Structure 1
Amino acid sequence: MGWVKPARLEKQALLDDAAEATGLEDFGSDWFERPFDVLLESIRAEAKLNPAGDFSAMQQFHKVLKDRLWAQMWFARHPEILARPIRRPVVIVGPMRSGTTRLHRLLASDQRFSFMRSFETISPVPRPDFEEVLAGRKKDFRPVLAGRIMKVARLANPRTLNIHPTGPYEPEEELGLLVNSMWGMKHEAQWMVPSYGRWCEGEDATPAYEHMANLLRLVGWSQQVSSIRPWILKTPQHMLDLDALLNVFPDARVIFTHRDPNAVVGSAASLAWNQTIIYSDHADANELGREWLRKTRVEVERMMAARSRVPAERRIDIHYESMERDWRSTMGRIYDFLGMDIAPAWTEMQGFIDRSRALKRHPHNYSLAQFGLTPEMVQSELGEYVDAFGVASETAGTGGARSAH
């Protein structure tokens, strides 16, 4: 309608705009420019963005680049941030839609852990006036911004927040910290950028994880919490980049989650579809389904190849159906693995379960057939994974509609 200027998805223009907006020029390590170049080219060649998609991409990049500039400002202003240790984090590693969010939020109910909140994964870097927030003279604007973004997302497609319910203060994954390096599957789940995804699969993600660790230190400092509390981390990206994760967090304790790949692939494709159609008027459901089947296979292959780097005493496997059948016993196993007493956390965990039951009113319905896939196609790609980990079949997830909460 001509209300906004045309988007300029050109790297130098975006860098210059962010520098001008902040009055800063240090973006930190320039490693991020490599994936940024590939991502911009993939958007131009493949994403077929509509005007809203163009505009939102430009805004997203502008925000990420400003955050990089502000992060370096905070590191220079408070060198003690980078000295904060991140010891023995608990990392949930599983395919998208394999119950990682539920497990993450159950563990985050325990106040003995540190975790990201949704507004922090959207805006991990405080604004330059944050010291006034710490002094109690101002309120942090980031939760307000997160709330506005979620309202826009719900207006654009109400299904997106039904599929992954959240709120500004809900525990959330750290994928936004990897986006700060122009890295990660978030881009593939909102735009059709297959060449970018394949390029990333061939690269060492360690620099992105190093920057993620520094942003975690910044988040911990901004929360004013003790660095003794171990972090709870989770994002499906770790399936692809387990080697990089272990390079940066060599003492991590890893919880591997497993679920019937028919449900994983169908649900992941549905999540990506309901985001992609906001930004493009030319999304193809069958093409998207094939891509997420391929992506899930690559995730599983990379995880299976790298998991031997985690000593047996620092890894545990948790199955989705076990959590569905008896979450209390399953959480007990996890706490035994962590060497912690679960008793102090029961009340908070039960509170989360009670709140989550309300989500059943808004089920996530999907099927493989919506995306041109069949159980036989999934079995062909992921049968080895099913056999290796004894993954149980979810009958309802193989053919018709499936509801998951």
Structure 2
Amino acid sequence: MPQATPLLRLLNVLLAPGLRTRKDPDAVFERLLADAQSGRVALGDDELAALDGLRLLLADHAANPDLSGMGWSSTQSQIRTRLTNRAIVRDVQASRPEVRDEPVTAPVFVVGLPRTGTTLTYNLIARHPGNRGPKLWEMDNLGLPRPQAEREKLIAQARKRYATVARLSPVWGHLHPLVADSEEEDFMLRAHTEMYATWGPAPRYLDWVANADLTEDYRFLRNALQVMAAGEAPERWVLKHPMDLWRMPEILAAFPGARFVWTHRAPAATVASGCSMAEATQVMYIKPGRIDLERIGQEWLDISARGVERAVALREQLPDDAVIDVVYDDLMKDPETVVHGLFENLGLEWGATDDANLAAALDRSGHRPHAYSLERYGLDEAQVAEAFSAYRIPASVLG
């Protein structure tokens, strides 16, 4: 069971006085926005409107009486980063308008719920010669490409920062290791995702994002990629985030010609994993002893099931060749056959580099399996099956 470490308890004590600012979350948001725009081109009214969801997210967490000092500080930091990303991109576009013409050609989005093989699939496609995904360190330091020496300095700083995260929550570090110079999820650039519910209860924000059209958010993602790789554009960008699954039409509107790789697995394992991830995160955001496990269970079952049901319906609106299915059980049984077929479908020629990448991805030495169960979160397999009644895993390609 995840527990607060001594370092986390100390930080919560030191940061507790800052909790007083929760009384006026609008004022906090305005301060974060002013910090983000300081010395940069001001964001326009339309863009500010697109960020209103973040104001609601901040207010939701501010209203949580169980939020810890570390949780409030981290919430502000995350929102400040999203606001700063916007300001940086608009500033670069104003000074270097040619960046808007940087190619972002037919990117691949790996979509699927947690623990369905998304990370393995993502890394293999992103590390194919000519492809690339956004790295964690550069999403934390968004801007035009830097000289090699500066890149190495920023990577080293990011390593130290994420080593601290692992010390605060060792379980989280095991569940989803944050590697500074490795590919990470695209929501770290964009503004909106249901993933923010891992921080703690955010009911108003979840209602808002469930009904929001995020096309503009994905257009911003395209702009950010153009800035990040200006003059160094890859042949193909590769992106990943579970909640991209039910945003495929919005993604296509922002990225014409995008392809989707949808990874499938029996829902019970994916829901339990999502709950475990939320619990491990809330250890860093919620006061000790105040995490509501049953609330986590109901919330992540609802997010996952509604999202997949929406994705199933939306898929009918997509071009026939837009989505490629990968079945987790196939991937685990015969990874070489499955990924070779996937690459062929994407028009990628398998080579020696891909052989090495696959061997590294399948090397589990030093890996410690993480145990999680539905029952811990007040759920059972019958509930999950009922919630996912509209979902059918595609037939095996292995026969």
TM-score by length of 2: 0.87
Which position in structure 2 is the counterpart of 1:389? Answer: 394
User: Does 2:345 correspond to 1:337?
Assistant: yes
Judging changes above 3 Å, is the alpha-carbon distance between structure 1 residues 47 and 196 closer, same or farther for their aligned structure 2 residues? farther
Closer/same/farther in 2, CA of residues 109 and 70 from structure 1, 3 Å limit: closer
Q: CA deviation at 1:169?
A: 1.0
Match status 1:253 vs 2:259: yes
Structure 1 Cα separation of the partners of residues 104 and 193 of structure 2: 22
Moved more, 81-90 or 43-52: 43-52
8 Å CA contact 2:309–2:390 kept in 1: the answer is no
Task: Name the CA distance, whole Å, in 2 between partners of 1:260 and 1:359.
Answer: 26
> In structure 2, what residue type is equivalent to 1:83?
D
Aligned partner letter, 1:88: A
Among 27, 43, 66, the alignment partner of 2:43 is 27
1:14 aligns with 2:32: yes
Q: Which residue is equivalent to 1:358?
A: 365
Establish whether residue 277 from structure 1 lines up as the match of residue 289 from structure 2.
no
Q: Name the CA distance, whole Å, in 1 between partners of 2:318 and 2:209.
A: 23
Q: In the TM superposition, what whole-angstrom CA distance separates every residue of 1:293-337 from its partner, at most 9, and x where no partner exists?
A: 011111101111111233222321110111100110001110121
Question: Match of 1:86?
Answer: 104
1:309 matched to 2:355? The reply is no
Does the aligned pair in 1 maintain the 2:294–2:377 contact within 8 Å?
A: yes
Q: 1:159 aligns with which of 150, 168, 171?
A: 171
Q: Work out the CA distance in 2 between the residues paired with 1:380 and 1:4.
A: 42
Instruction: Report if aligned partners of 2:122, 2:238 keep a CA contact under 8 Å in 1.
Output: yes
Residues 109, 348 of structure 1: 8 Å contact kept: no
Query: Per the alignment, do residues 24 and 340 of structure 1 end up closer, same or farther by CA in structure 2, a change over 3 Å counting?
Result: closer
SS at match of 2:206: helix
Task: Determine whether 1:216 maps to 2:225.
Answer: yes
Distance 1:315 1:66, change over 3 A: closer
Cα distance in structure 2, aligned partners of 1:251 and 1:38 = 33
Structure 1's 142 and 14: CA in aligned 2 closer, same or farther, altered over 3 A?
Answer: same
Instruction: Provide closer, same or farther for how the CA distance between residues 101 and 211 of structure 1 changes in structure 2, counting only shifts above 3 A.
Output: same
Unaligned runs of 5+ in 1: 393-405
Q: Identity, % of aligned pairs? A: 24
- Alpha-carbon displacement from aligned partner over 1:231-275 (angstroms, at most 9, x marks no partner): 111111212322211111121111111011010000011011100
1:100 offset after TM fit, Å?
0.6
User: What is the CA distance between 1:339 and its match in structure 2?
Assistant: 2.3
Match of 1:6, SS state, is: helix
Quote the offset at 1:142 in angstroms: 3.4
Matched, 1:70 2:78: no
Correspondences of 1:90-169 after superposition (within 5 Å): 90-123=108-141, 125-126=142-143, 133-134=146-147, 138-139=150-151, 141-169=153-181
Q: Is the 8 A contact 2:194 2:303 kept in 1?
A: no
Q: In the alignment, which residue of structure 1 is the partner of 2:236?
A: 230
Amino acid in structure 2 at the alignment position of 1:60: Q
Q: Which runs of 5+ in 2 are unaligned?
A: 1-12
Change (3 A) 1:59 1:4: farther
CA drift of 1:4 comes to: 8.0
CA distance in 2, matches of 1:210, 1:383: 33
**Closer/same/farther in 2, CA of residues 253 and 60 from structure 1, 3 Å limit:** closer
RMSD: 2.3
Any residues of structure 2 matched to 1:33-52 within 5 Å, and which?
33-46=51-64, 48-52=66-70
287 and 137 in structure 1: CA distance in 2 versus 1, 3 angstrom threshold: closer
Conserved? CA contact 1:93–1:239, under 8 Å: yes
- Residue 150 of structure 1: how far off its partner (Å): 1.2
Q: How many residues in Structure 1 have an aligned counterpart in Structure 2?
A: 375
Distance 1:313 1:62 in 2: 38
After superposition, the Cα gap between the structure-2 partners of 1:79 and 1:4, relative to the gap in structure 1 and judged at 3 Å, is: farther
Q: Separation in 2 of the partners of 1:25 and 1:141?
A: 27
Aligned amino acid, residue 219 of structure 2 = E
Cα drift, residue 2 of structure 1: 5.0
Deviation for aligned residue 1:3: 6.4
Q: Relative to structure 1, is the Cα distance of residues 3 and 87 closer, same or farther in structure 2, using a 3 angstrom cutoff? A: closer
Which of 298, 302, 306 lines up with 1:294 in the alignment? Answer: 302
Contact 1:47 1:192 in 2 (8 A): no
How far apart, in 2, do the equivalents of 1:275 and 1:72 lie? 31
